[in-house]
Copies of this chain bind each other. A is one copy, B any other.
Amino acid sequence: MKFTCTRDNLIEGLNIVQKAIPGKSNTPVLEGLLIEVSEDLILTGSDSEISITYQFPAIIEEIGGVVVSSKTFCDIIRKLPDMYVTVETSADGNDLIINSGGAHFEINLMNRAAYPKINFLSTENSFSINKGSLRSLIKQTAFAASQENSRPILKGVLMENKENILRFVAIDGFRLALKYVESNCETDFSIVVPARVLNELSKIIDKDEELINVCFSENQIMFYTDTFKVVSSLLKGEFFDYSRMIPSDFTAVMNVGTKELLGSIERVALVLEDDRKWPIVMKTYSDEVVINVAGERGVSREVVSAEISGQEIEIYYNSRNIMDCLKAVENERISVKFTTTKGPSIIVSEEDDSFLFLVMPVKPKIR
């Protein structure tokens, strides 16, 4: 195997496939980077859940493929003195030789035979989505997926396509996040993708309006463009019937600036050491909401102007749950709709019905 390319192209590809490569793995070969040379140069990283390949043109002198320590290879490529780099296997096939400017490296190869076979899906039944929409779908839902191992299905995001609407939903037991966009996919489906995979994917895709393709099988999903492929296993099991969780009757509605409310909660929560231990209290008046916290470090209070209709309410939340939702809002103003002090509240926008966050209040507890 032998190729020459620019250092910067190589670094760009490494930055992407590295997101699938674990720093430490019980299967050491997965700490490796698969480098394959055919018509193009193809870099691959993989762990047990996600595989990423990145493909780009290079000057190919000899085809072949090797696995090397991703960390060593990346450390070296990032520091190369010249803008071009030539990479080849040694004559005895035991080392990878890297030459750039006056620098010469021979690094140990890993056992390529031990590297897992990656199943790339057939792209026959694929649909496409623009990258900006995909980023919003992920940003506005994946944060609400569960971190706990107790119900594995909740570590995923439901991807549901129905009548040309693609909906992402995540639930962790204390909150729910839902976002939809219009889709060009004619087939209805409902699958669950690990939230972690979506978060990595959203770091890879640019903000621009180019399209990204999606296809899936019974067990896997693949997001791909001409340059990269991200393949992930799907989560198995029944997702919650989220539609039954969303209330439609409300006792009060608060219209408020998103940043103002978020900034205030971030500040009052500073008196907390453990946000799971002490709640924040929101009390509505006719034209303002007062937020109070009594925490380990002291007490705090902030007043935020708001348009409020319906009954006055005094309601307790976990600060982190509500802040995460507010951070995911892309609109300047939101409506917080309250049911009761024990029932779910929802965060929506009057101009934009494409998202909905649901937050469960917590029990009153005052220091």
Binding site for B on A (CB under 8 A): 69, 72, 75-76, 79-81, 95-96, 102-108, 263-264, 266-268, 270-271, 297-304
Contact = CB atoms under 8 A, between A and B. Distances in A.
A32 to B, nearest CB: 12
Contact of A300 (B106, B301, B302): B106
The 9 lowest CB-CB distance pairs between A and B, nearest first, are A107-B298, A72-B297, A104-B301, A105-B300, A106-B299, A102-B303, A103-B302, A75-B270, A106-B298
A268 B75 CA distance: 11
A304 B106 contact: no
Copies of this chain, tallied across the complex: 2
Contact of A104 (B80, B81, B105, B300): B300
Contacts of A108: 297-298
Contacts of A267: 76, 79-81, 103
B81 A297 contact: no
A153 to B, nearest CB: 37
Contacts of A264: 81, 102-103
Contacts of A79: 263, 266-267, 270
B299 A105 contact: yes
Contacts of A271: 72, 105, 107
Contacts of A104: 300-302
Nearest to A95: B298
Given A102-B302, A105-B298, A108-B298, A270 B81 contact: no
Contacts of A263: 79, 81
Contacts of A299: 105-106
A293 to B, nearest CB: 9
24 contacts: A72-B270, A72-B271, A72-B297, A75-B270, A79-B263, A79-B266, A80-B267, A81-B264, A95-B298, A96-B298, A102-B302, A102-B304, A103-B264, A103-B268, A103-B301, A103-B302, A104-B300, A104-B301, A105-B299, A105-B300, A106-B298, A106-B299, A107-B271, A107-B297
Contacts of A298: 72, 95-96, 105-108
A78 to B, nearest CB: 9
Contacts of A81: 263-264, 267
A23 to B, nearest CB: 14
Nearest to A297: B72
